[in-house]
Amino acid sequence: MRPDVPREYQTSAMPVTGSLTTNTIMWRVCAALLPGALLSVWFFGLGVVMNLVLVLVMATACEAACLKARGKPAMACLRDGSTVVTALILTLCMPPSMSVGILALAVCGAVVLAKHLYGGLGHNIFNPAMVGYALALVSFPDAMASWPGLDGMSGATPLTTFRYREGLSVAELWNAANGFGVLGAAGWEWVNVAYLAGGLLLWRMHLIAWRVPLAMLGTLTLLALIFYDGGSSASAGSPAYHLFSAGTMLAAFFVLTDPVTHPATRRSQLVFGALAGIVIFAVRAWGNYPDGIAFAVLLANAATPFLNRVARTHRDSHDQVTG
């Protein structure tokens, strides 16, 4: 049992036994993120490292300040590694070489707004990294969309190019812009494969509730299949494109699986993942924003207490609290 989480929100994905502390889990999550992070640096340049250093420093400073202000033991809490995971996920969503101001806004949103105002680790309703990211995204949409192309020039993300391709069919777009690879967007596809591998590792180690990513990726695939028309000019993209572009795998295995912000029972975890998948596809296919991952995570998080509540009311004997 994690002492800092109310009993009814404990899931077995949390360190129930004493053998695994929050600290150990967080470092394992970091390790699982590492391949994707390294590939991000490989494809998007040293700007990613610069972001990471800045975000880590600012997040640690913010965390320490908040803990001090709240009269908690700062060193002991800092060592749990949760700040590092938040900083890492936040950085991996951000375009490289972001301005310090935008990074600071995102870090404040994540650490102060989404985490400490709610009472710190284990009490947050929303995933801190996604609150910070969404805040930066709606405040500075242009800066947040300028990813470097593979030719080294800065430009729109492949998702944006795909969304606003003005009548080109998918095959034409793939040939015209060299921002696309075999599965999805060039570079992104391998980063996503790395996140998938890391996520499967976490699954093997029983650190995540596997129903959440399964439901999210499954729903996304299903919707992409239903609306797939062979790649015409109005196509919303193939399932492979949706699965291996932008932060799909990162969100599925590392963001949505944050055990305090997803529901506790099996069935509600499936609903939770499916909800996120639906929102991601709807925003990508029909919305103004090129990607909907941050919004999907926030909305699914907002639904978590409701899903828990419904599950508690209709709990039948087979639907035990699970991970």
CB of residue 4 vs other proteins: minimum separation in angstroms? 8
Say whether 265 sits in a helix, a strand or coil: strand
Give helix then strand counts, H and E, for the chain: 15, 2
* Contact criterion met (CB below 8 Å) for 35 and 197: yes
Say whether 231 sits in a helix, a strand or coil: coil
* Contact criterion met (CB below 8 Å) for 112 and 61: no
The interface region with other proteins, picked from 39-47, 127-135, 171-179, 245-253 by CB under 8 A, is 127-135
CA–CA separation, 45 vs 58, rounded Å? 21
Q: Which of residues 234-293 bind other proteins (CB under 8 A)?
A: 279, 282-283, 286-289, 292
Answer for which of 306, 314, 315, 319 binds other proteins (CB under 8 A) is 306
Both tokens assigned to 16: 């129930």
CB of residue 155 vs other proteins: minimum separation in angstroms? 22
Answer for which of 68, 206, 309, 314 binds other proteins (CB under 8 A) is 309
Q: Closer CB to other proteins, residue 159 or residue 298?
A: 298
Residues 6+ apart with CB under 8 A from 298: 126, 127, 130, 131, 134
Give the Å distances, CA to CA, from 204 to 108, 157, 207. 33, 32, 8
The interface region with other proteins, picked from 92-100, 196-204, 241-249, 299-307 by CB under 8 A, is 299-307
Q: Is 85 in the site for other proteins (CB under 8 A)?
A: no
CA–CA separation, 49 vs 55, rounded Å? 10
Q: Is 25 in the site for other proteins (CB under 8 A)?
A: no
The interface region with other proteins, picked from 10-18, 73-81, 114-122, 219-227 by CB under 8 A, is 114-122
Binding site for other proteins (CB under 8 A): 4, 6, 9, 69-70, 113-114, 116-120, 123, 125-126, 131, 134-135, 138, 279, 282-283, 286-289, 292, 294-296, 298-299, 301-303, 305-306, 308-309
